[in-house]
Structure 1
Amino acid sequence: METKRVFTIGNKGEKVRSDCYISLELKDQGGIVVNLNSKVAPIFGKHIKQLCCEILDYFSVKHAVLNIEDSGALDFVLAARLEGVIKKAKHSDKQFLLKQIPENRSMSNKGRSRVTRLYLPGNTPSLMINSGIHRSDSIILDLEDAVAFHKKQEARFLVRNALRSLNFLGAERMVRINQLPEGLNDLPFIVSHGVNLILIPKCENEEQIALVSERVNEIKEDFSVKYPIWLMPIIESAMGVINLREIVESSEMIVGIAIGLEDYTADVGVKRTQLGMETFFARMEIVTICKAFNIQPIDSVFSDVENLEALKDSVLMSKSLGYEGMGCIHPRQIEVIRKNFAPTEEELQEAKEIVDAYDEAVENGVGVVSLGTKMIDMPVVEKAKSIIEKSIAFHRSFEN
């Protein structure tokens, strides 16, 4: 008697969109049988079955029954799910890769704006597909907290295919990997497929940075990846704060440091409050060291997605401390964060006056620069120029 070998993958249910649920039963004979349950079968059924047969043939699956419950899955989702379930059924080192779109071959600069970074669950394609329209500076495909433990492997295939296939409309492409050492298993699915920046959660020491950077460079060399891939450690514990300087100094690939306040407050045994006095030391430590090493300090996410007024207050506090951006867990937070991190009209006007006064003094050969009753030295001038440049960048981002 033949033993049934049935494997499943994906998501199904009334609320599932742009995804599919697949069961694969390997057989000893009978060829390939594809059973498709889909509302779009009359229009796309032939294409879906052809793609499935192409993938099965690629992985040398000759006899199988494939059952698909389709909820509007695009090709990159279907291909990720089917490859994932095949690799549950049999070992293969091959990858079935859809053609990478040209937009996702773009590289990002070390100092680019990262004011708004939108987190997206790495196993939920419906939230990925149109994410670029929200115009965040960065999109984070999350393989860590947003993915259930038993779904980690299938999420890797989906994130890989999303990096290759989805147009994020100019947003920097980020991936938050799993906590190390598990996160090292995520890297082959992202490094050679268009990721710009890797977030390293719960980072506590330079050894973790070395593990990630060495593995990233190995994969880059294996696949001839020439563009830079940046790192952003997330500090989420007291130990991470204590070792912050050695973390920052450990790699030139680090472009910023983020703080995760939910895990940090849990680690130090305090309740997170809106005022934030319990996290003031850790937040200022991050700002101070980031500024000293000319990288970006990035503040924690704000978890109450309904309270936009409280979010505004949190952003203004974050800006006053010296942070240069925050994470977003809902698209509605993006504009509030962007608007309130931007220089105000008063700040911009004062900066213009300072720069004008300095330029006039230089032109007239005056050694002492003043504006009204205040003396102006070079650090003040440089700060004013920075405000003007930041305002221009924010305006350009808004126009785009």
Structure 2
Amino acid sequence: MMDLRRTMLFIPGNNPGMLQNGGVFDADAVILDLEDAVSPQEKDAARLLVAHALKYVDYAGSERVVRINPLDTFGLEDIRAIVPCGPDALLVPKVQCAADIEAAARAVALAERPGQKPVNLIALIETPRGLAEAYAIATADRRVVALALGAEDYTAAIGAQRTPEGSEILTARTLLVNAAAAAGIQAIDTPYTDANDEAGLERDTAFAKHLGFRGKLTINPRQIDIIHRVFNPSAKEIDWARRVVAAIRQAEAEGSGVASLDGKMVDAPIVNRAERILQLARLLGLREEEGQ
């Protein structure tokens, strides 16, 4: 089954109210944040709050992800406390190399309870080295299901100014998408940090989708509907995908391995893309006329 991660909403791990209400926002995933949102003196208290939330809060079907701290700070403590509470995944920040993921995976395996559903890992790439080693990171362990881009730290590291247009992160975006695709996992885009700029968010999300991202880190619940609308397949996309699948099936029924549509050859990558669109449409309960 396709894992939906169109929106991954950050929720501060030290905010009991937001932790309690995180399931009402309809995000595909909630990220209970123990890192940037929490000051060093609040780490222990936040860890307890997040552990309690995992055990007792209904997140209404949203994937439950916890962003831990880097392994060289409080990350191992986070893993030991959080993993037995059954999160779906951990977002591992500032991943620099495959060894970072391997160390996280070992710690997770030690912390899991017998019979517990395996906890996945999402690697947050925030540094030039992490980007350079993205494919090795993506393939470091079978628990890794996605790469996510953290553009704020990345641009600071390369000395670039962050802009709404995002030209300074184009190379980072394309390299991360390529590494994720080569590894057969998802690529998740960096947040759009101006929560009041809805037009900018829509443009940025559409561009991310165009590049091959499957979802976006999200900092404000008000961003969710816009991001979902962009990532949902449109009526035009669904119609195209249905026609592609019909063309290849007709060709197969006629004993041919070659199909064409609108004068263009339909090959395996095209069919795979069409099938992904239809799978997403079915998962979302979309009919052709409901697309935007």
What TM-score results when the alignment is normalised by the length of structure 2? 0.94
Q: Deviations over 1:38-76 (max 9, x none)?
A: xxxxxxxxxxxxxxxxxxxxxxxxxxxxxxxxxxxxxxx
2:165 is matched with 275
What percentage of aligned pairs have identical amino acids?
36
1:360 is matched with 250
Q: 1:205 to 1:372 in 2, by over 3 A?
A: closer
Query: 1:372 offset after TM fit, Å?
Result: 2.8
Distance 2:224 2:18 in 1: 15
Query: 1:345 offset after TM fit, Å?
Result: 1.2
- Of 331, 338, 341, the match for 2:221: 331
Q: Tell me the secondary structure at the aligned position of residue 250 of structure 1.
A: coil
Pair 1:152-2:64 in alignment: no
2:19 is matched with 128
The amino acid of 1:258's aligned partner reads A
Distance 1:172 1:158 in 2: 18
Q: Deviations over 1:204-247 (max 9, x none)?
A: 01221122111111111xx3243110000100010111121221
Q: Deviations over 1:323-379 (max 9, x none)?
A: 000011111111111110111111111111111122122222345422232222222
Contact 2:248 2:258 in 1 (8 A): no
Distance 1:127 1:322 in 2: 31
Query: 1:195 offset after TM fit, Å?
Result: 0.8
The amino acid of 2:249's aligned partner reads D
1:19 is matched with none
Contact 1:192 1:225 in 2 (8 A): no
- Of 142, 146, 150, the match for 1:252: 142
- Of 195, 200, 204, the match for 2:92: 200
Matches within 5 A, 1:229-268: 229-268=119-158
Query: 1:302 offset after TM fit, Å?
Result: 0.9
When Rg is computed on C-alpha atoms for both structures, the one with the higher figure is 1
1:376 is matched with 266
CA RMSD of aligned residues (A): 1.6
More contact order relative to length (CA 8 Å, sep ≥ 6): 2
What TM-score results when the alignment is normalised by the length of structure 1? 0.69
Distance 2:250 2:78 in 1: 55
Q: Tell me the secondary structure at the aligned position of residue 110 of structure 2.
A: helix
1:210 is matched with 102
5+ long unaligned stretches in structure 2: none
Q: Tell me the secondary structure at the aligned position of residue 186 of structure 1.
A: helix
Matches within 5 A, 1:49-88: none
Distance 2:55 2:207 in 1: 37
Contact 2:135 2:183 in 1 (8 A): no
The amino acid of 2:182's aligned partner reads A
The amino acid of 1:291's aligned partner reads A
Matches within 5 A, 1:39-50: none
Pair 1:351-2:268 in alignment: no
Distance 1:372 1:248 in 2: 37
